[in-house]
Chain A
Amino acid sequence: MISGTGSRRARQSAIRIFAQEYSESSLIERGAGEYDPSFVITKLGAKVNRCLVCGGLERMERRDGDSGPFYRGQVRDPSGTHYFDVAPFQPELHPDAEELLARFETGDSILVSIVGRQKSNESEDGGIFTSIRAESFTEIDLEAYKSWMVEAADATLRRLEAYASSQGAELNEEGLRVAGVPDDLVPGLLKAREHYSEFDTEAYRVWILKAFSRALGRAEETPEVSIDDNAKSVDSAPVKSVESADPRDVILGIMSSSGGDLVEYEDLQAACISAGASAEEAEDAIEHLRDITMEISEPKFGFFSSSS
């Protein structure tokens, strides 16, 4: 439905969220109308259309796509990795992206803050890969990063408390409100409780504690950008919403839902990782499908399509 020309739509607030909570999400709410916002709804009921995330820049690269150059990157926070991109249709951000890329390529440790909109890809078996389409980003200093960690921890604890309150509450809006769930969390938490099965919230507390101890200066500074930490994290890839789906299924799912568009290598790999596979498994799966079963082809280097 197209609303009247005079009406502004209320802007969505930027949810402070750690990477782990965001990446574990498998519930997407698509806006009904052309201009209605879409949301990633997390297990704790955060309804994310826009978010504010920070972390150590772990990867940054420019790519050339059919509709022009775009940028892709990852930032690491105490819980995991956020994936973000800057699209070809955001030329106003390209100069800043170039600058950030140049800074990244110097090899320095860089902390960045990103404001962006939710983005998600869905494979046919229901595996969801969430990422962020950047609206703006900037390099920040360590103090600002610590301060963000505290804010994100505060926001996560607030959601954890709401989640705990919702246990045993009647699962409707009024019921959650009566149980003490803050108004802004009610709709998301209601959907989350209907969609996700019970889960252990202890893991959340682990990286919240990590965030606090860094903010208090009790832990080593900025391990987010150290290579060791990076490598470790791949081994200890956390349990995802779709538990270790076969990466081949994930890839084929993406292919069939891509509507014939070419899909990038990085996207396929990221989706497999998000579905619980390691980077190597993802690589193997892509090669297997391309070279052995020939279910996918690579018409252009780094870009894949379904063979059928």
Chain B
Amino acid sequence: MSDQTKYANQIAVVKQECPDADEGEIGKEFARYEEDFLIPPEDALRSVIRKFQVSTGAEVTTNTSAPVREEKKVGRFSELGPEDRNVTIEVAVVSYTPRTQMVRGEEKQIAFGWIEDNPHEATSERVRWDYKDWGNKGESMIPGSIVRLEGVSVNEWNGKRSLNINRTTRVTVVKEGGGTAPPTGNETLTIARASEVEGFVNLVGRVMSAKPDVIVRKDGSGEIPIVRGKIADDSGSIGFLSWKAFEHEEGALVKIVGASVRKFRETPEIQINDGTVIEAYHDTSFPDITKLSESDKVSIADLRNGMRDVSITLQVENWAQRTYESQDGSSKVVRSGDVMDPTGRCRLTAWCDFDPKPGETIMIEEGRVQFWQGSPDLVIDSLEQVSSLADAPWEKIDPDNHWVEVGLTEMTRGGSRRGISTGGTIVAINSGSGIIERCPECRRMLRDGACSEHGAQIGEEDLRLRFVIDNGVSNANLFLGKESSESFLGMSMDDIKSEISSIGKEAFISNLRSRVLARKMAVHGRCAVDGQGAMLFADKIEVVDPNPAEEAEVVMKKWEVVL
């Protein structure tokens, strides 16, 4: 839909005031307000009129006839027309989903959700509409409650109507809702629980760190001062980002009311805005900063993309440095290697002259985590962040035999990791198992002799197997590359090729099915976990031969069943 039709109503009003203004330009201006500033056209009207009055030379009067509309009170959505503004209506809040968007380097909080009219009647008597909250009304728009909205406007788009709640809208809570929404009353959450929700929370925690920082606006218009830090309780810790002055020092115990939790990459973070209240809190039994920082040490299994301020102990497996040419032509050095702890392996990258020896135990502070090929990569920027430990807190890990046992469910609920072993039953063989052709340019699988990126190609043959592994509670896509497929099938790729050409692809898959389906497998490899599920890349898989008598004994013991 073009700006012209979307903003037709508003454009007409502007044209009334500034007859010389170009409609296309007016439309663009509204689009700019909506997209760049997140200001809905109703709110932008006055500013847009002013702009065109100035640019078209029309007389600027302080008393424009810009619509000051009569308040319209209604009981039902059906009484509303597509152009109604300044509407007063009572509604039930069904959902409230906050969303933070970066707009020109600034954070804007908007929200959307469902509301229902006729809120004092049964649900079947109500009509449900979408709404958008442009005015940060999250504290009143609590799902389950009934609110009176004064000064909302109707928005019609693609024939569907919704309500816009603007900054000037007054929201009065008529009836408080219970419900599952994050509490905005006085109830506080533990930090572990707050890390699982999205939306507004209250919590009590100790300030572990607080440092001033700046966010540089991308358009070069300046910097925004912020404060970054971390707060902790005995359930865990969480990073925070404060958009306003943060006056509490390290070690202070604070209660934070009305902070919003959002995710940076895969790491939850709390945002402290103008509406957030922070006050000193008194609880002599609350753990002190030494104790909290002790328990705040993480292990490789805990690492998530986007983490900051990470303290961790590691054993170095190998180390290498690489020189490359940077954009300005000078040569730069980056050092990296594989590191381990009892919970797994990951990569470590150093942007400083750090040269540990294989086998050395090191401790890192204030590290940050980014992702490299779907696995966590710890990054340090300065030598001060790392110290060498004479004694490892664990027995020396043998890198050649370091597989960490992880249940499939624990794996799918955790982060991406390397060096794990897990198990489950194969419940599906996915298409694309067997001999495939890859694009010589990018290694993508060719479909009908063509790559989605590079067009028709003479493919390079490759072998892979794709299964789904499942334990009844969780599942993961299991991938076997050429080497692990060959060793699992006990055949070379050439043998497999000739088998497929003699019996056909269907028969090959059917044979594979009778061989792996419903079989338990033990898998060694690495996993990548994202919002859509887990992928397990196998170095090695083995069929676990069933031993029902032993399995039965274990399960009976677990549930205290006696025959």
Interface residues of A (CB under 8 A from B): 7-16, 50, 52, 54, 92, 95-96, 113, 115, 135-140, 143-144, 146-151, 153-155, 157-158, 161, 172-174, 182, 184, 208-209, 212-213, 215-218
Q: A15-B472, A212-B563 are in contact. Are A144 and B555 (CB under 8 A)?
A: no
Is there an interface contact between A151 and B472, defined as CB atoms closer than 8 Å?
yes
Some 26 contacts from A to B, beta carbons below 8 A apart, are A10-B533, A11-B533, A13-B475, A15-B472, A113-B518, A136-B428, A136-B513, A137-B517, A143-B545, A143-B546, A143-B548, A146-B549, A147-B520, A149-B548, A150-B548, A150-B552, A151-B425, A151-B551, A153-B552, A158-B559, A184-B474, A209-B561, A215-B548, A216-B563, A217-B549, A218-B563
Is there an interface contact between A8 and B533, defined as CB atoms closer than 8 Å?
yes
Residue in contact with A212 in the complex, picked from B468, B514, B518, B556, CB distance below 8 Å: B556
Closest residue of A by beta carbon distance from B559: A157
Q: A140 to B428, alpha carbons, bound, how many Å?
A: 15
Is there an interface contact between B519 and A144, defined as CB atoms closer than 8 Å?
yes
Residue in contact with A144 in the complex, picked from B506, B518, B563, CB distance below 8 Å: B518
Q: Is B473 in the interface zone, CB < 8 Å from A?
A: yes
Is there an interface contact between A14 and B552, defined as CB atoms closer than 8 Å?
no
Chain A nearest CB, measured from B250 CB (Å):
33
Is there an interface contact between A113 and B559, defined as CB atoms closer than 8 Å?
no
Is there an interface contact between B517 and A115, defined as CB atoms closer than 8 Å?
yes
Chain A nearest CB, measured from B56 CB (Å):
41
Q: Please classify how large the interface on chain B is, using the bins under 10, 10 to 19, 20 to 34, 35 or more.
A: 35 or more
Chain A nearest CB, measured from B561 CB (Å):
7
Is there an interface contact between B473 and A184, defined as CB atoms closer than 8 Å?
yes
Is there an interface contact between B518 and A96, defined as CB atoms closer than 8 Å?
no
Q: Is B180 in the interface zone, CB < 8 Å from A?
A: yes
Q: A52-B472, A154-B558 are in contact. Are A146 and B548 (CB under 8 A)?
A: yes
Chain A residue numbers with a CB within 8 Å of B549 are 146, 215-217
Q: A230 to B445, alpha carbons, bound, how many Å?
A: 50
Closest residue of A by beta carbon distance from B518: A113
Q: A95 to B473, alpha carbons, bound, how many Å?
A: 30
Q: A11-B468, A146-B546 are in contact. Are A136 and B517 (CB under 8 A)?
A: yes
Chain B nearest CB, measured from A107 CB (Å):
21
Chain B nearest CB, measured from A150 CB (Å):
4
Chain B residue numbers with a CB within 8 Å of A92 are 506
| Binary interface encoding of chain B residues 459-502 relative to chain A, with 1 for a CB under 8 A from any of its CBs, else 0 | 00000000010111111010000000000000000000000000
| Binary interface encoding of chain B residues 261-295 relative to chain A, with 1 for a CB under 8 A from any of its CBs, else 0 | 00000000000000000000000000000000000
- Please give 11 more A-B residue pairs, beta carbons under 8 A apart, in addition to A150-B552, A151-B551: A13-B473, A14-B475, A92-B506, A96-B510, A136-B427, A158-B559, A161-B559, A174-B180, A215-B549, A215-B551, A215-B552
Chain B residue numbers with a CB within 8 Å of A146 are 546, 548-549, 552
Is there an interface contact between A7 and B532, defined as CB atoms closer than 8 Å?
yes
Q: A206 to B472, alpha carbons, bound, how many Å?
A: 22
Q: A151 to B548, alpha carbons, bound, how many Å?
A: 9
Q: A110 to B427, alpha carbons, bound, how many Å?
A: 19
Q: A11 to B470, alpha carbons, bound, how many Å?
A: 10
Residue in contact with B428 in the complex, picked from A115, A139, A158, CB distance below 8 Å: A115
Q: Is B429 in the interface zone, CB < 8 Å from A?
A: yes
Q: List the 4 closest A-B pairs by CB distance, nearest first.
A: A146-B548, A147-B546, A113-B518, A215-B552
Q: A9 to B531, alpha carbons, bound, how many Å?
A: 9
| Binary interface encoding of chain B residues 427-457 relative to chain A, with 1 for a CB under 8 A from any of its CBs, else 0 | 1110000000000000000000000000000
Is there an interface contact between A9 and B558, defined as CB atoms closer than 8 Å?
no
Q: A7-B532, A144-B519, A150-B552 are in contact. Are A213 and B563 (CB under 8 A)?
A: yes
Closest residue of A by beta carbon distance from B532: A8
Q: A136-B428, A153-B555, A161-B559 are in contact. Are A147 and B472 (CB under 8 A)?
A: no
Main secondary structure of the interface of B (DSSP, over half): mixed
| Binary interface encoding of chain B residues 504-542 relative to chain A, with 1 for a CB under 8 A from any of its CBs, else 0 | 001000100110011110000000000011000000000
Is there an interface contact between B427 and A52, defined as CB atoms closer than 8 Å?
yes
Q: A173-B180, A208-B561 are in contact. Are A14 and B546 (CB under 8 A)?
A: no
Chain B nearest CB, measured from A27 CB (Å):
20
Q: A13-B475, A215-B548 are in contact. Are A157 and B555 (CB under 8 A)?
A: yes
Interface residues of B (CB under 8 A from A): 180, 409, 425, 427-429, 468, 470-475, 477, 506, 510, 513-514, 517-520, 532-533, 545-549, 551-553, 555-556, 558-559, 561, 563
Q: A182 to B471, alpha carbons, bound, how many Å?
A: 15
Residue in contact with B532 in the complex, picked from A10, A15, A184, CB distance below 8 Å: A10
Is there an interface contact between B472 and A13, defined as CB atoms closer than 8 Å?
yes
Chain B nearest CB, measured from A199 CB (Å):
20
Q: A92 to B558, alpha carbons, bound, how many Å?
A: 41
Q: A8 to B476, alpha carbons, bound, how many Å?
A: 13
Q: A158 to B513, alpha carbons, bound, how many Å?
A: 29
Closest residue of B by beta carbon distance from A152: B472
Q: A15 to B471, alpha carbons, bound, how many Å?
A: 8
Q: A157 to B545, alpha carbons, bound, how many Å?
A: 23
Which of A96, A144, A148, A217 has most chain B Cβ within 10 Å? A144
Chain B residue numbers with a CB within 8 Å of A136 are 427-429, 513, 517
Q: A151 to B558, alpha carbons, bound, how many Å?
A: 12
Chain B residue numbers with a CB within 8 Å of A161 are 559
Chain A nearest CB, measured from B426 CB (Å):
9
Closest residue of B by beta carbon distance from A154: B555
Q: A13-B473, A154-B558 are in contact. Are A52 and B552 (CB under 8 A)?
A: no
Is there an interface contact between B532 and A14, defined as CB atoms closer than 8 Å?
no
Closest residue of A by beta carbon distance from B514: A138
Closest residue of B by beta carbon distance from A92: B506
Chain B residue numbers with a CB within 8 Å of A139 are 514
Q: A140 to B513, alpha carbons, bound, how many Å?
A: 11
Is there an interface contact between B472 and A212, defined as CB atoms closer than 8 Å?
no
Closest residue of B by beta carbon distance from A148: B518
Chain A nearest CB, measured from B112 CB (Å):
13
Q: A208 to B562, alpha carbons, bound, how many Å?
A: 11
Is there an interface contact between B533 and A14, defined as CB atoms closer than 8 Å?
no
Residue in contact with A95 in the complex, picked from B510, B558, B561, CB distance below 8 Å: B510
Q: A10 to B533, alpha carbons, bound, how many Å?
A: 6
Which of B180, B428, B471, B548 has most chain A Cβ within 10 Å? B548
Residue in contact with A13 in the complex, picked from B470, B506, B555, B559, CB distance below 8 Å: B470
Q: A52-B518, A115-B428 are in contact. Are A147 and B551 (CB under 8 A)?
A: yes
Closest residue of B by beta carbon distance from A116: B427
Which of A113, A140, A154 has most chain B Cβ within 10 Å? A154
Chain B residue numbers with a CB within 8 Å of A13 are 470-475
Q: A196 to B519, alpha carbons, bound, how many Å?
A: 35
Is there an interface contact between A216 and B552, defined as CB atoms closer than 8 Å?
yes
Chain A residue numbers with a CB within 8 Å of B510 are 95-96
Is there an interface contact between B551 and A14, defined as CB atoms closer than 8 Å?
no
Q: A15 to B547, alpha carbons, bound, how many Å?
A: 21
Q: A215 to B556, alpha carbons, bound, how many Å?
A: 11
Is there an interface contact between A150 and B551, defined as CB atoms closer than 8 Å?
yes
Is there an interface contact between B563 and A138, defined as CB atoms closer than 8 Å?
no
